[in-house]
Chains A and B, each alone.
Chain A
Amino acid sequence: MLDGIMLGLSTVLDWNNLLYVIVGCFVGTFIGMLPGLGPITAIALMIPITYSIGADSGMILMAGVYYGAIFGGSTSSILINAPGVAGTVASSFDGYPLAKQGKAGKALAIAAYSSFIGGTIGAILLMVAAPLLAKVSLSFQSPDYVVLMFLGLTAIAAFSNKGQFLKAMMMTVFGLMLATVGIDPSSGTERFTFGQADLLDGISFLLVAMATFALAEALINVARPEAEPDKKIDDPDTPKIGSTKLTKEEVKDMAPVVGRSSLLGFIVGVLPGAGATIASFMAYATERNLAPKALKDKFGKGSMRGLAAPESANNAACTGSFVPLLTLGIPGSGTTAIMLGALIAYGIQPGPMLMQENPSVFWAVIVSMYFGNIVLLILNLPLIPYFAKVLAMPKSVLTVMILFFSLIGVYLVSFNTFDLFMMVGFALVALVLRLLAFPMAPLLLGFILGDMIERNFRRAMMISDGSLSFLWDRPLTLSIFVISILVLLFPLKDYIVQRRKEKAATQAEQHA
């Protein structure tokens, strides 16, 4: 392995390749920052360039663009609540509230550090255990995905504040319902398309996320201008972005969160059927469940833990997705599918033999990830104050900008005007729901997990001949299933303990 690292180092330290790392990170960050445009667009744009350079450089460039886009996606999530990439949707849950509280600088810094650590931990794991991890990505079968996604769904509890559980449940069900639109994955028949050809492919996750978060947010700004008195106009020179420095306590508080989420994110990323988006949601939910009582209520209202968790998880997951790509030749997402195509075009066969046949590509990509993450940190930290100045703009301008960029972003993905109408429709519905204090995050959770649960569940049922026995046939499935049941029952324990205390208290009062 040491030889491999040396080989990778010597490839990456070539000034040409170093340049590609920097260019890749830079381009990725900026395209990722644009609401709606994610790594898939960014990499597709890079393809013509990669053909004219060698395989090592091409892969280094594309990998840089990929994690750069995930890195950059958080900026727009935090600043304007318009997720740049599906994987950073969860970052807006707490990132945007932080920015609203005047801590934009800090939020961006947390995102940058967490991404950096997530990416680096991912790269280390990739380096030491890629062949071993290939076994992990193949050990997951459809039933395991079902229970894993089910575990993810238990996170609704994480998104519901006190007394809002019913509302959160309703939104989750709404999300599950939206996920059924389109061609039925198992039978091939159309569902809820109303004869509308544009609905055949289903509704895009990013469209729903942008409509319910960015667009609805902008509309709320218009509908309730008095809700937040705009002081920024009076004082444009000192915008409230806050310091980018983190205190020692904050670092101490977040360190275990980042560590756990990086690990979780990486493992979820290794699974070809999951990915960065699922990873970020799961990390968010896990941290919410693990947080002590006092911090729990802060989630969704600007918790730093709630931002650090998805940010480290999505970058680690993105690195993790290179495991099935490089060691098995299996792409887990559209983005890695394009990279697989590029590898094959170079005449390189990904798979178990890659490390022997093309060690330079394998190691160069991994070593370039360390450099890439450092580049991203150096690139982003000094720019934070400038990015954050966006918030210093008068609200009237900012709102228009948000509308413009989120609509353009969704349009640039599909080039379909129907999507724009659909987006506006969703935004209006979301506006009403938000004014009625319905939470939006459970909608997205239900939407993204609903689709995956359905596909995997029906596949598992077909494979097991219509028997539910797949839930307990394999130890892996059973253990994840048991964990999710425990997670569901866990809040009940608190409830019972509290009831007992109250009872004891009232009894004590009566005795007195």
Chain B
Amino acid sequence: MTMFKSLKRSVLAASLLVASPLALANLHFLVPGGPGGGWDTTARGVGEAMVKAGIEDNASFQNMSGGGGGRAIAYLIESGTKKGDMLMVNSTPIVLRALSGKIPYSYRDLTPVASMIADYGAFVVRNDSPFKTWQDVIDAMKKDPGSVKVAGGSARGSMDHLVAAQAVKAAGLDGRRLRYIPYDAGGKAKAGLLSGEVNLLSTGLSEALEVANGGQARILAVTSADKLPDYPAIPTLKSLGYDMEFVNWRGFFATPDLPADKLAEYTEKLRKLQQTSEWEAVRARNGWLNLFQEKEAFIKSLEQQEAQLRVVMKELGFIRG
């Protein structure tokens, strides 16, 4: 029976660690994906910093994957205020998947609380690539749109694809003629680039830095509005004369019937967190860039992003009308 005792204990330990019980927690984080992903690290990082900085007594986390994030949204709406303080982490896909109809909700069905961090689109080539600048890529595409094969870590119509299509469009080319090669994950897209079967990689800046800092690849451009203080050497599309910017935010949402005083409390806590050294440690550790926006500004940027994505998705034929 030794095994079963240990098994029981491990199950208990695992369930405690993975999904701490609601009753004990002061602030509960709902993660729409599995452990270890981007959403998960954001929620856990914010929670950890809050507790360490003394802003919150306790933070608990619950992973709820499924339905492209839709299940967690449904759960958040359903739970309302009954289950105590609950924040769901999400990012650009909530806008994107709502537009494409993959999830039956949009951010309008929730209370956007605040955005926390930002990642930007980045375009990467192999070290020995003939493309030295983003201009070289555009020139090659102008000559022959099929000559540039663009890898991305997810299916057609996902963020990597849309960002690349917009960047190409900003140079006056047809986004539909972009040759997008989908991979099953960011890591595999990187392997594809390094193996030489594609010649450009469209990905997030943080993932791009993982290969670029290793010295096997170069980042040609990022999609941030201004040059990033941490990486001044990387040109932005704007600085190169292409009118295109894109930000992949990560932020928090609460139930639609959230009382105003609760919203103020959450916002205050997240704002306070920005100034703490504990948050700075978490942020630097993960290579995140701050993008703190409170509700009004957050909603505005969500609307902007929605409009921007709607245009490009229509052009590429992912949505009609």
Which of A272, A340, A383 makes the CB contact (< 8 A) with B210? A340
Is A485 engaged at the interface, CB distance under 8 Å to the other chain?
Answer: no
Whether A331 lies near B187 (C-beta < 8 A) is yes
Q: Does B216 contact A (CB under 8 A)?
A: yes
CB distance B196 to A334 under 8 Å? Answer: no
A190 touches B102 (CB 8 A): yes
**By the criterion CB–CB under 8 Å, are A187 and B156 in contact?**
yes
B35 touches A197 (CB 8 A): no
Given A141-B192, A416-B71; A349-B213 close (CB under 8 Å): yes
Interchain CB contact (< 8 A) of A390 among B4, B149, B213, B216: B4
* Contact A45:B6 (CB < 8 A) given known A273-B188, A414-B34: no
Assess the B3–A386 pair: CB atoms within 8 A: yes
A37 in contact (CB, < 8 A): yes
In the assembled complex, the Cα of A263 lies from the Cα of B318 at a distance in Å of 45
In the assembled complex, which residues on chain A have CB atoms less than 8 Å from the CB atom of B102? 183, 190, 197, 200
Residue of chain A at shortest CB distance from B10: A30
Within 8 A of A (CB), among B263-318: 285-287, 318
Find out whether the CB atom of A138 lies under 8 angstroms from the CB atom of B191: yes
Which residues does chain B contribute within 8 Å of A187, judged by CB atoms? 155-157
Contacts of A313-333 to chain B: CB distance below 8 A: 324, 328-332
Choice from B35, B62, B216 contacting A41 with Cβ under 8 Å:
B35
| Contact (Cβ within 8 A) B2 A462 | no
For residue B240, which residues in chain A have a CB less than 8 angstroms away from its CB?
Answer: none
A31/B10 contact (C-beta < 8 A), A201-B66, A352-B214, A414-B66 known: yes
Interface segment, one of B178-186, B231-239, B241-249: B178-186
Asked if B156 and A188 make an inter-chain contact with CB atoms under 8 angstroms apart, the answer reads: yes
Stretch at the interface among B13-21, B115-123, B134-142: B13-21
Q: Which residues of A contact B183 (CB under 8 A)?
A: 455, 459
B197 touches A142 (CB 8 A): yes
A114: min CB distance to chain B, Å = 21
Q: Known contacts A37-B14, A198-B67, A345-B285; is A44 also within 8 Å of B35 by CB? A: yes
Of the candidates B1, B40, B191, B318, the one whose C-beta lies within 8 Å of that of A330 is B191
Q: Does B229 contact A (CB under 8 A)?
A: no
Is B63 located at the chain interface by the 8 A CB criterion?
yes
Verify if A140 is at the interface (C-beta below 8 Å from B).
yes
A486 is an interface residue with CB less than 8 A from chain B: no
Q: Residues 24-40 of chain A: 1 if any B CB is under 8 Å from the residue's CB, otherwise 0?
A: 00000011011001001
Contacting pair B184 A201 (CB below 8 A): no
A327-366 contact mask (Cβ, 8 Å, vs B): 1 or 0: 0111110101110110011010111111000000000000
Chain A residues 164-219 with CB under 8 Å of chain B are: 183-188, 190, 197-198, 200-201
Could you tell me if B214 and A418 are in contact, using CB atoms closer than 8 angstroms? no
A340 CB contacts on chain B under 8 angstroms: 187, 210
Count how many pairs of residues, one from A and one from B, have CB atoms less than 8 Å apart in the complex. Answer: 197
Q: Are B285 and A401 in contact (CB under 8 A)?
A: no
Given contacts A197-B70, A416-B66, A137 and B191 within 8 Å (CB-CB): yes
| Chain A: minimal CB distance from B307 (Å) | 21
Smallest Cβ distance from B183 to chain A, in angstroms?
Answer: 7
Q: Tell me if B88 is interfacial: C-beta within 8 Å of chain A.
A: no
Does B194 sit at the interface, judged by CB under 8 A?
yes
* A33 surroundings in chain B (CB, below 8 A): 3, 7, 10
Which among A188, A273, A330, A412 is the interface contact of B18 at CB below 8 angstroms?
A412
Q: Interface residue count for B (Cβ, 8 Å)?
A: 66
- Pairwise interchain contact B66-A418, C-beta atoms closer than 8 A: yes
| Range, interface on chain A | 35 or more
Is A370 interfacial (CB-CB < 8 Å)?
no
Q: How far is the CB of A50 from chain B (nearest CB, A)?
A: 11
A141 to B, closest residue via Cβ: B197
Chain B hits for A51, CB < 8 A: 285
CA distance A412 to B7 in the complex (A): 14
Q: Which residues of B contact A186 (CB under 8 A)?
A: 155-156, 182
Known: A351-B211, A389-B1. A138 touches B66 (CB 8 A): no
When chains A and B are docked, how far (Å) is the Cα of A191 from the Cα of B185?
19
Pair A45/B191 contact, Cβ less than 8 Å: no
A413 touches B34 (CB 8 A): yes
8 A Cβ contacts from B59-98 to A = 62-68, 70-71
Question: CB distance A351 to B66 under 8 Å?
Answer: no
User: Which residues does chain A contribute within 8 Å of B4, judged by CB atoms?
Assistant: 390, 401
Residue of B nearest to A75 (CB): B3
Given A387-B3, A389-B3, A463-B149, CB of A141 within 8 Å of CB of B196: yes
B1-38: CB near A (< 8 Å → 1, else 0) gives: 11110110011001101110000000000000011100
Complex interface: chain B residues within 8 A of A459 (CB): 181-183, 192
Q: What are the residues of chain B within 8 A of A142 when measuring CB–CB?
A: 192, 197
Instruction: Give A273's nearest chain B residue, CB to CB.
Output: B188
Q: B108 to chain A: closest CB distance in Å?
A: 18
The answer for the CA separation of A15 and B171 in the assembled complex, in Å, is 59
What 10 pairs across the A-B complex have the smallest Cβ distances?
Answer: A351-B214, A197-B67, A44-B35, A188-B157, A338-B36, A331-B187, A188-B155, A272-B191, A141-B197, A188-B156
A→B interface (CB under 8 Å): 30-31, 33-34, 37, 40-41, 43-45, 47-48, 51, 137-142, 183-188, 190, 197-198, 200-201, 272-273, 324, 328-332, 334, 336-338, 340-341, 344-345, 347, 349-354, 383, 386-387, 389-390, 401, 405, 408, 412-416, 418-419, 455, 459, 462-463, 465
Question: Which residues from chain B sit less than 8 Å from chain A, CB to CB?
Answer: 1-4, 6-7, 10-11, 14-15, 17-19, 34-36, 40-41, 44, 48, 62-68, 70-71, 100, 102-104, 146, 149, 155-158, 179, 181-188, 190-192, 194-198, 210-211, 213-216, 285-287, 318
Can you list 8 residue pairs at the A/B interface with Cβ under 8 Å? Answer: A43-B36, A51-B285, A185-B182, A188-B156, A198-B67, A332-B188, A415-B63, A455-B183
19 additional contacts (CB under 8 A) given A197-B102, A332-B187, A416-B64: A30-B10, A34-B11, A37-B14, A190-B102, A197-B68, A197-B103, A198-B71, A200-B67, A201-B66, A272-B188, A273-B191, A330-B187, A332-B191, A334-B34, A337-B36, A338-B36, A341-B36, A341-B41, A349-B210
